[in-house]
Amino acid sequence: MYKILIIEDDKKLAEFTEEYLKRYNYEVFKIFDFKKVEEEFEKINPELVLLDVNLPYYDGFNLCRIFRRKSKAPIIFMSARSSEIEQIRGLEMGADDYITKPFSFELLLAKVQASIRRTYGEYSEDNSEVLTVSGIIVDKNTFKMTYKDKEVELTKNELKLITKLLKNINKVVTREELLEELWDESSFVDDNTLTVNVTRIKNKLSEVGIKNVVKNKRGIGYYLDFKG
């Protein structure tokens, strides 16, 4: 689960942003004691920062420069300063992106996800806790899959299959590869086991609002035909 730090003096905007991002399994922190921003930043050690420009005590541009010396975490400015010059200045200070107010939370989420992909890789590693691909979030600790505001629970086999398919999204995964994912010395696994679990995956995706995306490449395997 990625940690996001919001540094924004508009409390309502900060709270609404926190609430929205938490739906997508991000761990969100906020700072309102602007005299201790550097101290709190080091304590939280975030993996992404959402930073306002107009702040009490410190200018957001200066904070960005300070953070960049301490961390590789992507920084996205959220600012009412919409001029091209201000946006260029923010990027020159070390920010990864810049979004102007007012903005839609959908656009903000897209920028957050893109920054995380660029910094930490397109997909989570096999041993990571959370896999996020095209807005679909799979949490290996809780065995839950989330898309937008809907959530379903997964069985162990469903988790293995959806993880494999998501890591190869829009690419065919052979039946042999999928059977290997399901292999368990304590239970018998065959083609029928795979077919049953793929059907369950289709149903679970449908429950979160993603329909008709699991495709069968006859005689070869399956793939997710999904653009997000």
pLDDT, tens digit, for every residue of 46-90? 999 999 999 998 899 999 999 999 998 999 999 999 999 999 999
Residue 79 inside a domain? The answer is yes
Task: State whether 92 and 187 are in the same domain.
Answer: no
Confirm whether pTM is higher than 0.85.
Answer: no
Structure confidence at residue 192 (pLDDT)? 83
Residue 11 inside a domain? The answer is yes
> Is the four-CA dihedral 16, 20, 21, 23 of positive or negative sign?
positive
Number of structural domains found in the chain: 2
Task: State whether 116 and 134 are in the same domain.
Answer: no
Task: State whether 108 and 15 are in the same domain.
Answer: yes
Task: State whether 137 and 102 are in the same domain.
Answer: no
From the number of C-beta atoms within 10 Å of its C-beta (0-12, 13-18, 19+), residue 163 rates as: buried
Amino acid symbol at 40: E
Here the CATH number for the domain that contains residue 185 is 1.10.10.10
User: Is the predicted pLDDT of residue 127 greater than 70, yes or no?
Assistant: no
Here the CATH number for the domain that contains residue 19 is 3.40.50.2300
Residue 125 inside a domain? The answer is no
Task: State whether 151 and 80 are in the same domain.
Answer: no
Task: State whether 112 and 175 are in the same domain.
Answer: no
Q: Could you report how far apart the first and last alpha carbons of the chain are, in Å? A: 20
CA distance 106 to 78: 14
> Is the four-CA dihedral 16, 21, 27, 29 of positive or negative sign?
negative
Structure confidence at residue 163 (pLDDT)? 93
Range of the structural domain that residue 72 is part of: 3-120
Task: State whether 196 and 90 are in the same domain.
Answer: no
Task: State whether 97 and 137 are in the same domain.
Answer: no
User: Is the predicted pLDDT of residue 185 greater than 50, yes or no?
Assistant: no
Task: State whether 96 and 151 are in the same domain.
Answer: no
